[in-house]
Amino acid sequence: MSYEKEESIAIQACLQAAKLTERVRSKIPKAIEKIDNSPVTLADFGSQALICYHIHSAFPDDPIVAEENPKELLKPERAGDLKQIVDYVKEDNKDVDEKKLIEWIGYGNGRVSERFWTLDPIDGTKGFIRQDQYAIALALIVDGDVKVGVMACPAYGNDGGLLFYAVRGKGSYTQSITSYDTTIPTRIHIVANNDQNTFRFTESVESCHGDQTKQNEIAKRIGIQTPPIRMDSQVKYGLVANGEAVLYFRFPNPHRQDYRENIWDHAAGTIIVEEAGGKVTDMDGKPLNFRDNEKMLHNRGVIVSNGIIHDQVLEVLKS
């Protein structure tokens, strides 16, 4: 399959969501604390509503596995938040009301299947709140393989943000978010770089999201002497795909060894890096499993590389 329609719908949905999230981000975003104590903003729900609406309208038989649950907005104390999200979404879709908004967000509560979409409406919510990096990440998965990936990164660079997208077998591309309709896409290739003095690696800002001590030790053992680039969200995949970093580590936190990654935190970034010539595996060298569950239960940690030094990293880990 060419997946041309899927790619086009996914790109337009993410671009529209990016406009909404930036409208919210221009104000001080109000964070809602979820049951698991992680933050969620009005923009998370608005982004999920818009994207799920577009995907469901074009592909009504495709389940969508997304991060947010509309039940958060059905609590009596959230009535004001619900109305405010409707007002944001109305700027892009005049027909929305509170009932439709809840329905659209709920489209994202599908299950992993033979063919499905996975969505993180705002990956890196803490970065979003800090006015820093975040990504809107959407991917189509068929038989466990990511076929289409789109990442809108509105805070990336100095020109209104960057859109990354890829289709399996057709390469990875970038375009400006703000001038998407008037610019030509740029195909990205990871260029071989043998100068270890310029090697950089990237990791999460949040120390609880990984094992920064171990990640820094592995980086030093393979010759990386420069400090890591720390940022939120799957934008880190974009750094590797763009050649700004040679590695992205996400090792299990030593205090949370039983933690497993969510598929929506890695699916879109994975295909973008792989189609640019890089490599993505877990710490044991296994491909990331997007087939069985919304959690990657059979993977331990994540290693994203330019492809050239991947085997070296795995060998150092074994030792």
| Feature table: binding site for Mg(2+) | 67, 120, 122-123, 265
Give catalytic status of residue 21 as yes or no. Answer: no
Tell me the one-letter amino acid at 239: L
Q: Which of 44, 62, 232, 282 is catalytic?
A: 44
Compute the Cα dihedral for 190, 164, 172, 66 and give only its sign. positive
Please report where in the chains the tokens 């609590």 appear, as a residue: 75
Residue 134 structure tokens: 């975040």
Residue 178 structure tokens: 């703000």
φ, ψ for residue 57, nearest 5 deg:
-65, -40
Q: Using an 8 Å Cβ cutoff, are 75 and 120 in contact?
A: no
CA distances from 15 to 11, 20, 78, 176 (A): 6, 9, 27, 10
Buried b (16+ CB within 10 A) or exposed e, 225-251: eeebbebbbbbbbbbbbbbebbbbbbb
Compute the Cα dihedral for 61, 58, 134, 251 and give only its sign. positive
Residues 232, 163: Cα–Cα separation, whole Å: 16
Residue 129 structure tokens: 């709140």
Residue 118, beta-bridge partner list: 65, 139
Give catalytic status of residue 44 as yes or no. Answer: yes
What's the alpha-carbon Rg for the chain, to the nearest Å?
Answer: 19
φ, ψ for residue 120, nearest 5 deg:
-115, 105
- Closest to 250 in 3D by CA, of 201, 315, 181, 308: 201
Please report which helix (H) or strand (E) contains residue 28, including its range: none
Q: Which of 21, 41, 118, 125 is catalytic?
A: 125
Catalytic residues: 44, 125
